[in-house]
Structure 1
Amino acid sequence: MSTAALINLVRTGGHQARRALLTSRILQDDKCLAVVCQSSTSERRTSRFDLDGSGRPATWDSFGIWDNRIDEPILLPPSIKYGKPIPKISLSNVGCASHIGKRKENEDRFDYAQLTDDLLYFAVYDGHGGVAVADFCNKYMQKYIREFLAEEKNMELVLMRAFLEIDKAYQRHAELSANATLLTAGTTATVALLRDGIELVVASVGDSRALLCRKGKAMKLTIDHTPERKDEKERIKKCGGFVAWNSLGQPHVNGRLAMTRSIGDLDLKNYGVIAEPETKRIQLHHASDSFLVLTTDGINFMVNSQEICDFVNQCHDPSEAAHVVTEQAIQYGTEDNSTAIVVPFGAWGKYKNSEVSFSFSRSFASSGRWA
């Protein structure tokens, strides 16, 4: 079968055609491997479908997502570009949940969208002092990312510029408003961009988090910006701010804010609270990466990263998983808003742990987090 015919089948034939394409490519690689082995029997060579160099072709299950756990088509151009099958991540499969907890208002916001043909956007914002900044970011962050994408291909720089620009835009908005409470409102921001289904970049300010589940283990993609971090505390003090501890032993900038980076919090900008995010770039391995999770601190202060991975791995689909994570944080005693976004990758459902148990009590509560 010709390459053109195979490509046409992938576009129109669904699951069986993709199996045919993969089988054909495996056979081609096996032929090439046989030729190489004849010329040099002492050196083991691998093909793109011989993942461990064993000489045995990878099974369908090695690629995870094509094992009927979540049936997605292969992105043909990126697969050719990177030399390995890459699944399309459909937004319809993304799971999300947000719970008010025991607060009077849910100040968490979340969003996900397809920004371009090859770029997906996921974000969580945890507002404090009101919803003004979280709403502002939820409304305009996509706009700024799109603008900078037109000028810059490096997604880390795009996110860096977008965070700083949206903070300036909010400041202009607040200064033109007669509402003085806008000056003391703020939000965390954790934003992830996924290009070609394989290039993942995360940017974050505050204490909302992103984690990747790889081979069943949690991989943290963000680090909280709190006064407990030596580098963050030094910047606050250098700018004339101070760190005070509340009755629960939690540090706050100038006795008010539990984080050292945020969007908004204009009254603390002169004291070292900045909107510059820390970023991380990672290339996904769909044979071993199960999902990405974005969470706010109502979850993070109750459920650790590995527990989140274990809970999600027990779930049938990402929507169920997002609800389970937020509900488990509530069962553990959180009183804060809790929000989760779960994005499935190639190894979804591949690393279930039968020993996970769901607890319905935990002695610690987060009620006194905000001074």
Structure 2
Amino acid sequence: MALRLLSKPGFKCTASPFVANYHDYVRCASPGGAMRIPLASPKVIGVANSRGNRGHQEDFYSFATLSLNPEELRISVKKAHAIDWDPSKVGDLYARQVVFVGIYDGHGGSAVSQYLRQELHGLFESVDKSMIPELYTWITKEVGGYFKRYRGGPMTPWIHGVENTSEMDLEARAALAFYEVDKNLSSDPVAQNCGATASLILLHTLDSPAAPFFSAKKTALTVAHCGDTRVLLCSTNGGRVFTMTENHHADSRVESARLRKMMGSALITDSFGESRWMGALANTRSLGDLKYKRFGVTPEPEVRTKLLEGSEWAYIVAVSDGVSSMLSDDEVVDLARGCKDPKTAADRILSFAQELGGGDNATAIVVPLAGWGHITGPDKTKDLREYRLQEAAGSERLRRM
């Protein structure tokens, strides 16, 4: 039995026992048996991370291969894609595999984002539906305020007990894990004013025999998202962007409707013209920020799914707002085109954002798919990027004069 310690800077040390089955490689079938491919290889997942001009780093990331209940995955695939996936055809070892990639952007300090980097993948794997009734009581009674009227969201089937209930799907698991983070942090004063956004990429390949996500013919993609980190899909057909996330700001379509319905209006525009919820937070969904939770700031992730077939998609890019505040979605995915490996692509995205003058903490993660290296059509933002670089260089020269 493994023992997890939540001993991050600024947090009290507590412990909870569970069996940790996640690992840092992905298995795939081969004629000679199972192969293990390390996720940390720059050819498997590419990461670029910088603190920019700031004196501290609040951006973090993590990746792992989780071991989840095949029945839960079967239910998820059926619900999201109407596919009757049979886990017995690939065997239990492969059927349980879900590649987890997380990007976390902290605010008010780095404590919560560091906690997520070290703990969220293990927590996501270990949560169980039996935890939901107690968690629901904590949400409605202890958090209160906005959450007094919370009805359970994706966890609704299990809030009054789990006997004779079905397994969760990935949407319910994501909600349970994110709320459990807040519950774990609730006793520590640091998390009252410190928080983080998070986007999780979950890749579950459906091939038989099992293939890794970067060469699979059919992969179920699930994105669990909370805040303004961004997850983008790049198509091999012309390099078109498919956006898997929406920024959770108070003036966004989804969030403005949710908050007006439950809380009225607490949206304040600062002197820079930026909207802030309660006059303090740019994001209305986050982990941590516990003193704002009773006013409608929720950790519940927005979950979106997509079936990735054949070589239709080239790669996934995840970026923090240190990148997305400088670059459009099209520019982000175009910068990764033609790179020899995912690490080079991530470095190129981050470097370009910094060349334009970006000084914030910034992270770019590139995850290759079966269509890597096969994008057709021209680089549609090349001329724009060259112009923007010239403008940035001219502005820098004027500044130094």
Q: How is 1:8-47 mapped onto 2 (pairs within 5 angstroms)? A: 11-12=31-32
More strand by share: 2
Question: Is the contact made by 1:241 and 1:271 (CA closer than 8 Å) also made in structure 2?
Answer: no
Question: Is the contact made by 1:183 and 1:267 (CA closer than 8 Å) also made in structure 2?
Answer: yes
Name 1:129's counterpart in structure 2: 108
Name 2:244's counterpart in structure 1: 221
Question: Is the contact made by 1:293 and 1:342 (CA closer than 8 Å) also made in structure 2?
Answer: yes
| Cα distance, 1:283 vs structure 2 | 1.0
Q: Secondary structure at the match of 2:249?
A: coil
Name 2:140's counterpart in structure 1: none
Change beyond 3 A, Cα 1:235–1:244: same
| Cα distance, 1:12 vs structure 2 | 3.6
Higher Rg of the two aligned structures: 1
Q: Secondary structure at the match of 1:161?
A: helix
Q: Secondary structure at the match of 1:329?
A: helix
Q: Secondary structure at the match of 2:31?
A: helix
Segments of 4+ moved more than 6 angstroms: none
| Cα distance, 1:336 vs structure 2 | 1.1
Name 1:94's counterpart in structure 2: 45
- 2:55 is aligned with 1:104: yes
Q: How is 1:52-67 mapped onto 2 (pairs within 5 angstroms)? A: none
What count of residue pairs does the alignment treat as equivalent? 279
Change beyond 3 A, Cα 1:164–1:150: closer
Q: Secondary structure at the match of 2:365?
A: strand
Q: Could you list the runs of 5+ residues in structure 2 that have no partner in the other structure?
A: 1-28, 68-93, 131-166, 206-212, 214-218, 396-401
Deviations 1:250-294 (A, max 9, x none): 100111111111001111111111101100111112311101111
Question: Is the contact made by 2:334 and 2:379 (CA closer than 8 Å) also made in structure 1?
Answer: no
RMSD (Å), alpha carbons = 2.7
Cα distance between partner residues in 2 of 1:115 and 1:301: 31
Q: Secondary structure at the match of 2:112?
A: helix
Letter in 2 for 1:171: S
- 2:331 is aligned with 1:307: yes
Cα distance between partner residues in 1 of 2:185 and 2:314: 36
- 2:359 is aligned with 1:339: no
Cα distance between partner residues in 2 of 1:241 and 1:133: 27
Q: How is 1:1-371 mapped onto 2 (pairs within 5 angstroms)? A: 11-12=31-32, 92=41, 93-116=44-67, 117=94, 118-148=97-127, 152=167, 154-172=169-187, 174=188, 180-196=189-205, 197=213, 198-215=219-236, 216-236=239-259, 238-239=262-263, 242-351=266-375, 353=378, 356-357=382-383, 358-359=385-386, 360=389
Q: Secondary structure at the match of 1:226?
A: coil
Question: Is the contact made by 1:89 and 1:345 (CA closer than 8 Å) also made in structure 2?
Answer: no
Identical aligned residues as a percent: 31
Q: Could you list the runs of 5+ residues in structure 1 that have no partner in the other structure?
A: 1-8, 15-72, 76-87, 175-179, 366-371
Letter in 1 for 2:106: G
Question: Is the contact made by 2:182 and 2:290 (CA closer than 8 Å) also made in structure 1?
Answer: no
Letter in 2 for 1:185: C
Change beyond 3 A, Cα 1:13–1:162: closer
Letter in 1 for 2:198: A
Deviations 1:20-74 (A, max 9, x none): xxxxxxxxxxxxxxxxxxxxxxxxxxxxxxxxxxxxxxxxxxxxxxxxxxxxx9x
Letter in 2 for 1:155: L
Cα distance between partner residues in 2 of 1:350 and 1:231: 35
Change beyond 3 A, Cα 1:350–1:153: farther
Q: Secondary structure at the match of 1:256?
A: coil
Deviations 1:204-246 (A, max 9, x none): 1110011111121110000100011244235445436611112
Cα distance between partner residues in 2 of 1:320 and 1:102: 22
Q: Secondary structure at the match of 1:313?
A: coil
Change beyond 3 A, Cα 1:333–1:146: same
Cα distance between partner residues in 2 of 1:308 and 1:89: 26
Cα distance between partner residues in 2 of 1:149 and 1:308: 37
Change beyond 3 A, Cα 1:362–1:236: farther
| Cα distance, 1:90 vs structure 2 | 5.4
Cα distance between partner residues in 1 of 2:204 and 2:186: 31
Question: Is the contact made by 1:236 and 1:253 (CA closer than 8 Å) also made in structure 2?
Answer: no
